[in-house]
A and B are shown apart, each in its own frame.
Chain A
């Protein structure tokens, strides 16, 4: 008899819960995570080498997005560094610490807003000429934003004062016309054209992207072919000059000749 009561009781619970159709109004509280316009936004590459030699610091912007209801008041954002164990950026040396007082006003989500951009101030330390460092950032839970979406809580910033391989440089993509990447090749392209050949140039001018299908509406295959032709001819002339001086052709550090 006791078992029968158990059965009836649990069956009643099952009937009450299994037919629920109405979604409840969200009431789990406020949260915050990074906003990725594309999955590729989890990675940011930056190099001081493209900018003026006098630049001592530059800003990378990260976008955050709230969870839950909007607030009528400004809410502080807390970003913190996660250590990877390899080449981690040093606060105060390679970047302005997230909790620096000078950044406090900028690390907020304005009232009645769901998104905000927060600055990461990168510092041009001399050590960046010899190494690339990693700044892995995450949103820290706070009293204002106790919830964190773990799937959207990482942004890795790779930066240096060296030439960097743009994330859009994808030699495995069928349409990618510029061949295998190499720092010497990249520098040569910058010198010959005056363009940075960074992600902004690939995306906004050439229409080549780091995400499938690896091109956008700006893509013009004939123009890319033309640039390859320009660079190939410039390289031939450059190598001829080098060889006339008794030097070897332009090569990467691993002795691979640069080619287009």
Chain B
């Protein structure tokens, strides 16, 4: 028995070791490090115009003759988060000189350094935002001298591209401007490849019910009203806007939505709208985006009710058990957002002698319906009531800017007082046509929080943009533009925004 055990043990040992072959490499080579510096975190470039020159600084003990380099450009296919990438090697020299000729988009640039002798490799990377002149800046929606709609673009360096629709489409859009919305990562069919792709777009609406969506980087007209829908409605268009998950269109027929982010990147689309997802039809220009619900609260001027829509484009009527809701006897004068959770609505009650109320709608983050948390009577003598323009400060001060008799004021919501707004350099003899808090905050773009005002005189506009303290303009205008026409609104477009951070589009900029 003992012999048998020994035999089995020896046999097992043989069987288990018979194929062992030591393939270790005992010829050790000392490994040094290679540090690469001198690359920016982000480069913003214009294709066909800019050349990217990078001279990296290397720290290593290896002789330069042993080192080889590789510059690689990576781009997400179809701009999907975490999806496949395609790669392009730009060069093998230590210094990069890359005449930017790639299609607009967000790329990752890798710089690899490798020691030929021992194979040691390291790399650093940067983000490349490749765009065109149209890819970034403050888009100005304006009324032309003939009463049509056109766009100007105020770029970061102060240059102004004028009459973009006339230059790129041959003519401005008929009708006075109603709204301009940035549609981040909207699905369109690329006219060259016929692929369904997501690109940043501009959605323009005029008072003549003209609707157009342009691919921002080249102003390709991706949709008009006839092509935007599977079943073209006969509706009054109000606005385009982007939520955290969708590119939406608000019209009298309801909220049309296109899923374009998050898990829904799994699906693709030709970019047409189907039908509103709920029966809560209606809308108006009184609208405010509320970051907490990744959606909007707005007035339905057809059915006289307050509606809200979430990030899935589901619209519902807003009700309250604590306060009477505005209804058939009410008219909405204004809606505006403050912070991430509050929307103000100013209403005229015509059931008796005119009375005015400022409603406070409060939202909880991603939870349920907005609630009415306050109704404040506004004194009939308030200039706010007869204002021609109104806008909230959306981030830093609980105030409503307004223009009355061509003078700027602000209404302090907290205590109900009104004050003249001092705007340094505002031409007193020009008509104020737009007033707003314009802000933007995203990692791949410079953040700003401006007070913005536009004036008009003799066919020309001035745009004056100020830094603020406590919500009030502070110092001279930091960004200005002068052009022809009358400004309706200004919207900022950033090329990188919305591709890599699906939550960005829901929160961090004024609309």
Q: Which residues of A contact B (CB under 8 A)?
A: 3, 6-7, 10-11, 14-15, 18-19, 174-175, 213, 215, 217, 219-223, 225-226, 228-230, 232-233
Q: Please tell me if the beta carbons of A222 and B10 are within 8 angstroms of each other in the complex.
A: no
Q: Please tell me if the beta carbons of B270 and A18 are within 8 angstroms of each other in the complex.
A: no
Q: Please tell me if the beta carbons of B19 and A18 are within 8 angstroms of each other in the complex.
A: yes
User: How far, in angstroms, from A223 to B274 measured CA to CA in the complex?
Assistant: 7
* Residues of A with C-beta under 8 A to B381: none
User: How far, in angstroms, from A152 to B42 measured CA to CA in the complex?
Assistant: 54
* Residues of B with C-beta under 8 A to A230: 231, 275
Q: State whether the Cβ of B460 lies closer than 8 Å to any Cβ in chain A.
A: no
Interface size of B in residues (CB-CB distance below 8 Å): 28
Q: Please tell me if the beta carbons of B11 and A225 are within 8 angstroms of each other in the complex.
A: no
Q: Please tell me if the beta carbons of B271 and A225 are within 8 angstroms of each other in the complex.
A: no
* Residues of B with C-beta under 8 A to A223: 230, 269-270, 272, 274
Q: Please tell me if the beta carbons of B267 and A225 are within 8 angstroms of each other in the complex.
A: no
Which of A3, A11, A175 touches B266 (beta carbons < 8 Å)?
Answer: A175
Q: State whether the Cβ of B379 lies closer than 8 Å to any Cβ in chain A.
A: no
Nearest residue, chain B, Cβ from A175: B267
Nearest residue, chain A, Cβ from B276: A229
Which of A14, A219, A226 touches B274 (beta carbons < 8 Å)?
Answer: A226
Q: List 30 A-B contacts (CB under 8 A).
A: A7-B7, A10-B11, A11-B14, A14-B14, A15-B14, A18-B15, A19-B18, A19-B19, A175-B267, A213-B266, A217-B268, A219-B267, A220-B196, A220-B269, A220-B270, A221-B259, A222-B187, A222-B230, A222-B258, A222-B270, A222-B271, A222-B273, A223-B269, A223-B272, A225-B274, A225-B277, A226-B231, A226-B274, A228-B274, A230-B275
Which of A6, A220, A233 touches B267 (beta carbons < 8 Å)?
Answer: A220
Number of A-B contacts (CB under 8 A): 71
User: How far, in angstroms, from A11 to B273 measured CA to CA in the complex?
Assistant: 75
* Residues of A with C-beta under 8 A to B231: 226, 229-230
* Residues of A with C-beta under 8 A to B274: 222-223, 225-226, 228-229
**With A11-B10, A222-B272, A223-B274 already in contact, 19 other A-B pairs whose C-beta atoms are closer than 8 Å:** A3-B7, A6-B7, A14-B14, A175-B266, A175-B267, A220-B267, A220-B268, A221-B259, A221-B264, A221-B267, A222-B230, A222-B270, A222-B271, A223-B230, A225-B274, A225-B277, A226-B231, A226-B272, A230-B275
Give the shortest distance, in Å, between A225 (CB) and chain B (any CB): 4
**Which residues between 183 and 215 of chain B lie within 8 Å of chain A, taking CB atoms?**
187, 196
Q: State whether the Cβ of B49 lies closer than 8 Å to any Cβ in chain A.
A: no
Give the shortest distance, in Å, between B243 (CB) and chain A (any CB): 16
* Residues of B with C-beta under 8 A to A228: 274
Contact with A along B272-296 (1 / 0, CB 8 A): 1111010000000000000000000
Nearest residue, chain A, Cβ from B196: A220
User: How far, in angstroms, from A14 to B3 measured CA to CA in the complex?
Assistant: 19
Q: State whether the Cβ of B263 lies closer than 8 Å to any Cβ in chain A.
A: yes
Give the shortest distance, in Å, between B85 (CB) and chain A (any CB): 18
Q: Please tell me if the beta carbons of A7 and B11 are within 8 angstroms of each other in the complex.
A: yes
User: How far, in angstroms, from A229 to B279 measured CA to CA in the complex?
Assistant: 11
User: How far, in angstroms, from A225 to B19 measured CA to CA in the complex?
Assistant: 61
Nearest residue, chain A, Cβ from B10: A7
* Residues of A with C-beta under 8 A to B230: 222-223, 226
Nearest residue, chain A, Cβ from B313: A225
Q: Please tell me if the beta carbons of B11 and A226 are within 8 angstroms of each other in the complex.
A: no
* Residues of B with C-beta under 8 A to A11: 10-11, 14
A3 with B267, Cβ < 8 A, contacts A10-B11, A229-B275 known: no
A3 with B259, Cβ < 8 A, contacts A14-B18, A225-B275 known: no
* Residues of B with C-beta under 8 A to A222: 187, 230, 258, 269-274
